[in-house]
Structure 1
Amino acid sequence: MARLFSAIVPSPEAVADLAEHVPGHLPDGAAEIKLRWTPPDRWHLTFGFFGDDDSEQRRTKWLHRRATGLRAPTLRLAGAGSFPGVLWIGVVEETAGESADAMRKLAVAAGAGRRPYRPHLTVARYQRGQHAKRVIGGLVDQLADYRGPAWTPSDLVLFRSDLSSGSPVYAAVHRVELDA
């Protein structure tokens, strides 16, 4: 089964910096909640999730039409938090002036949906349970002050996520170049 999603990939510098700050060990209680770190080569900022019944060709045209000509925001990975089952690093926009709303415009064009959009990068997944609040809370506290280098993405990517091997394998289907 393959699923499509739109995303921005952080710069190599942003990935390297975050990789230095994410704990390299599993904290006490991690086995109980089945904590699994997301490998840095899969780190991305998802904007739109399109599911597994979407046509690549149709979605490519749709994304290209909506995102072409949009200004690239200047972004920074900063802070940490969690959703049920997900430990994440936050994303802040550092774009100034007329382009200060570039992140929101890009998210809307890329299919962020009707729910409020919370830009984030997933660094770990876990199974919810009694011990999750303590373990994940400790990791959020540990990463709360994280502030990585700023970067400006060059493109928005439509990815295919193939789940047939158990772990997702991402492949770029289409790239829409963003204006600097």
Structure 2
Amino acid sequence: MPKPLRAFVAVPLPAPVIDFLQQIQQQLHSPMINVRWVRPENIHLTLKFLGDIEPSQVPVIGAQLDAAAVSTPAFTLNARGVGVFPNRRKPRVLWVGLDGETGMLKTLQTTVETVLAAVGFKREKRAFRAHLTIGRPRKRMDPDDLGGSLDRLQTAASAPFRVGRVCLYQSVLKPSGAEYTVLYSAPLSD
């Protein structure tokens, strides 16, 4: 029997945005902020985490992503500002936010959620909060140290980038970190 694949649906990021995110990571890097940084090439905009899927489901999911993509025109976003989830007192995720045509992004995410629910994937109960995860704090840190760094970068913004496709990714967890492979790519309409 084929081994299940750990999978998620996401928007890939262009090289200039990856470079911008790496610069943000470098500006936040400090002995006071102990963070496990996401490798820049692994940063993406997650629309839906699927968990374990069977390899035979890839074509079905791909067809659903095609259906979502064909009904969604390409749009523009930019990475802007820095924050944490759930809050500055107990940060678990360090992220960069998104600006631009965020209504189109929400529409795409809702459409992906709907088409995948039609083939048996559970709907996410939590509200979609668009973000790009750049790191995860390793231990408790002084909120003032973190807060000052975050405040300094609130106006940092990437150049606008075009969202032109949505992808199904496989995630393989390794000691050196996660490795992502595109299993399917669906272009948005023009």
Normalised-by-shorter TM-score class:
0.7 to 0.9
Displacement, 1:73? 1.8
1:21 aligns with 24
Contact 2:21–2:134 (8 Å) recurs in 1: no
Alignment of 1:12-91 (within 5 A): 12-23=15-26, 26-31=29-34, 35-53=35-53, 55-83=57-85, 84-91=91-98
Q: Which amino acid in the other structure matches residue 51 of structure 1?
A: G
Alpha-carbon separation, structure 2, partners of 1:47 and 1:28: 33
**Deviation per residue, 1:51-79 (Å, 9 max, x gap):** 11453333223322233231122101001
Match of 1:159 in 2: 169
Matched, 1:117 2:124: no
Q: Give the distance between the partners of 1:113 and 1:127, measured in 2 at CA.
A: 27
Give the structure with the higher percent helix: 2
- The letter for the 1-side match of 2:151 is D
Partner of 2:110: 108
Amino acid at match of 1:89: V
For residues 25 and 48 of structure 1, the distance between their equivalents in structure 2, rounded to whole angstroms, comes to: 28
Q: Secondary structure at the match of 1:74?
A: strand
Shift of 1:128: 5.0
Alignment TM-score, normalising by the size of structure 1:
0.82
Distance 1:42 1:135 in 2: 26
- Closer/same/farther in 2, CA of residues 14 and 166 from structure 1, 3 Å limit: closer
Give the Cα–Cα distance (whole angstroms) in 2 for the partners of residues 107 and 128 of structure 1. 32
- Give the corresponding residue for 2:184: 174
Q: Matched residue pairs, number?
A: 171
Q: What is the CA distance between 1:166 and its match in structure 2?
A: 5.1
- 1:144 matches 2:147: no
1:91-139 Cα deviation digits (max 9, x unpaired)? 1124xxxxx732111111223834221111111112353x253443233
Identical-pair percentage = 25
Structure 2: gaps of 5 or more residues: 86-90, 114-122
Is the CA contact (8 Å cut-off) linking 2:68 and 2:111 kept in structure 1? yes
Any gaps of 5 or more consecutive residues in structure 1?
A: 95-99
Q: Matched residues in 1 for 2:125 and 2:93: separation? A: 21
Q: Which moved more, 1:82-91 or 1:63-72?
A: 63-72
RMSD over equivalenced CA pairs, Å:
2.4
Following TM superposition, by how much is the alpha carbon of 1:164 offset from its aligned partner in structure 2, in angstroms?
Answer: 4.1
